Chain A
């Protein structure tokens, strides 16, 4: 006999994540954006670059797009897991 009486009693994904204290970025594929001062941004969990200019970088995250606005923006390194953006950062927006 099943441990749960009906499908209604199955715990939701949110509840399991909360209960087990699992990191949300690995479970939900949320993008992790780390800002160091106003000159460095480290982005993890993204799919790719949508737009790149010296003033604007748009990245495609797993759920939403991330727009980084600033001046003299440069990608210091780029791998399939994370990237580091340098420059004078004005704003970070989720589109």
Chain B
């Protein structure tokens, strides 16, 4: 018999002694009583038998003139009996398990990945309008319809996948470049400019490579903003030289434009510095669903303080995250002192600011050809001007 089944049913080790204990063993066999680990010691026979069978051996003991003494009781029924006084603990454990199971049937959170132009809030609002607001019963949602609805609502979404991962609804999406969509919308009213490549800046043409369309500018030309660079309206001439028709096509090519840009910013020499007083308060909050329970019953004694928050989700079983979290807020008191930057600090700040400008331009694939920085030092502030000569690549 399986050990687990024996354990669940409960068994005991007994000592049988008397006139003919082996006769007792034989009779047990005849009465279909299962015995195991039968051995002999100086007092008699020691053997194991199940709890149910123990109730049947009384007659056999009487017949064979033997007596039985229980040496050991093992199994779940005996364990539960011993744990009778801890019954409240087991009831709570069972209720917790049941609540965990019930909670795992619901979706408690929505996570969105891959969105750049459409914000999380917009998508969540759309879901809520369709009566999909957390928490919801996971079986009631048709994920295919949800995908369709989001795709219809947001035309910029080119690909979407909605799936449930544990207690979290995960939405993965990819968006088309919004620039193209905006351009199409803007140009719908005008003649055919949608097919043209238009300059977004003032500047001078450095180089132009046309793959499709008619170039309208040449190298060295100075251009203004919104000048057509490559036209996508191709005339087809008849034999007599007259225009037969205009073939509309999307102009394609690369245009490099040299532009100048200027950035101004100022840094105040005096600033307010935070001096932390080393007084720290720890405050705890518990979140259940959308309800926050504040465990800080005292008034906050600090006038000015920085708050650092750590959120811990204690009930995470595999992919199941239940909407119960503990928030630990650390409030650090500070006082404000008036201070002045040193020249070295100011130079560092301006350098960091300039690096940030460069980084933003390089992210847009704009080359920096020349850079001049002028710093005007006054008593109360530094005025900084950055002149940049850039090469912008406009391509389609």
Q: Say yes or no: A79-B29 contact (C-beta < 8 A), given A48-B23, A51-B22, A52-B45.
A: yes
Contact B29 A48 (CB under 8 A): yes
Give the contacts of A37-95 with B (CB-CB under 8 A). 47-54, 74-80, 83
Interchain CB contact under 8 A, A78 and B35: yes
A29→B144 CA distance, assembly (Å): 70
| A76–B34 touching, CB < 8 Å | no
Q: How far is the CA of A74 from the CA of B35 in the complex (A)?
A: 12
Q: What number of A residues sit within 8 Å (CB to CB) of B?
A: 16
Q: Is B302 an interface residue (CB 8 A)?
A: no
Report the bound CA distance from A53 to B30 in whole Å.
21
Q: How far is the CA of A50 from the CA of B36 in the complex (A)?
A: 18
Write the nearest CB–CB distance from A78 to chain B, whole angstroms: 4
Cα separation A44 to B47 with both chains bound (whole Å): 20
Cα of A52 to Cα of B39 in the assembled complex, Å: 9
Q: Does B40 reach chain A (CB closer than 8 Å)?
A: yes
Give the complex CA separation of A41 and B30 in angstroms.
Answer: 20
Chain B, interface size category, equals 20 to 34
In Å, the complex CA distance between A75 and B34 comes to: 12
Among B26, B29, B32, B38, point to the contact of A74 (Cβ < 8 A). B38
B28 within 8 A of A: yes
Look across to chain B and name the residue whose beta carbon is closest to the beta carbon of A52: B22
Q: Is the beta-carbon distance between A49 and B25 smaller than 8 angstroms?
A: yes
Do the beta carbons of B38 and A80 come within 8 Å of each other? no
Query: Residue of A at shortest CB range from B48?
Result: A77
B342 contacts the other chain (CB 8 A): no
In the complex the two chains form, what is the Cα distance from A75 to B39 in whole Å?
6
- Chain A residue numbers with a CB within 8 Å of B300 are none
Query: Tally of A-B residue pairs with Cβ under 8 A?
Result: 58
| Residues of A contacting B28 in the complex (Cβ-Cβ under 8 angstroms) | 78
CB within 8 Å for A75 and B29 given contacts A52-B40, A52-B45, A53-B40? no
With a 10 A CB-CB cut-off, give which of A53, A54, A74 has the most chain B CB atoms: A74
| B138 vs chain A, min Cβ distance (A) | 49
Taking a contact as CB atoms under 8 Å apart, the answer to whether A52 and B25 are in contact is yes
What chain B residues lie within 8 Å of A80 (beta carbons)? 29-32
Q: Is the CB of B29 within 8 A of A78?
A: yes
* Cα–Cα, bound, A8→B21 (Å): 49
Q: State whether the Cβ of B121 lies closer than 8 Å to any Cβ in chain A.
A: no
Chain B residue with the shortest CB-CB distance to A58: B22
- Whether B38 lies near A78 (C-beta < 8 A) is yes
Q: How far is the CB of B175 from chain A (nearest CB, A)?
A: 70
Task: Given A75-B39, A78-B38, check contact A47 B32 (CB 8 Å).
Answer: no
Decide if A76 touches B37 in the complex (CB within 8 Å): yes
Q: Which residues of A contact B47 (CB under 8 A)?
A: 75, 78
Contacting pair B25 A75 (CB below 8 A): yes
Query: Are A79 and B40 in touch, CB under 8 angstroms?
Result: no
Closest Cβ of chain B to A75, distance in Å, is 4
Residues of A within 8 A of B22 (CB): 48-52
What is the bound-complex CA distance between A49 and B40, given in angstroms? 13
A contact residues around B31 at 8 Å (CB): 80
- Which of A51, A52, A54, A74 is close to B37, meaning CB atoms less than 8 Å apart? A74
Q: Kindly identify which residue among A48, A50, A77, A79 contacts B32, using a CB–CB cutoff of 8 Å.
A: A79
Partner of A77, one of B26, B30, B35, B45: B35
Query: Given B26, B36, B40, which contacts A54 in the complex, CB threshold below 8 Å?
Result: B40
Contact B38 A75 (CB under 8 A): yes
Cα A79 to Cα B45 with chains together (Å): 16
Min CB distance, A76 to chain B, in Å?
A: 6
Task: Write the nearest CB–CB distance from A37 to chain B, whole angstroms.
Answer: 20
Alpha-carbon distance A76/B40, docked complex (angstroms): 12
Q: Is the CB of A79 within 8 A of B38?
A: no
A19 to B182, CA, bound (A): 96
Inter-subunit contact A74/B30 (CB<8 Å): no
Closest CB in chain A relative to B8 CB, distance in Å: 18
> Considering the chains assembled together, what is the distance between the CA atoms of A75 and B28 in angstroms?
13
Do B34 and A79 have beta carbons less than 8 Å apart? yes
Q: How far is the CB of B23 from chain A (nearest CB, A)?
A: 7
B52: min CB distance to chain A, Å: 15
Give the CA-CA distance A53 to B35 in the complex, in Å.
17
Q: Return 10 A-B CB contacts under 8 Å, by A number.
A: A48-B23, A49-B23, A50-B22, A54-B40, A74-B37, A77-B38, A79-B32, A80-B30, A80-B32, A83-B29
Nearest 7 interchain pairs by C-beta: A48-B26, A75-B38, A77-B36, A49-B22, A80-B29, A78-B35, A74-B39
Contacts A49-B25, A49-B26 supplied; 8 other A-B pairs, CB < 8 Å:
A48-B22, A49-B22, A49-B23, A52-B21, A52-B45, A76-B38, A78-B47, A79-B32
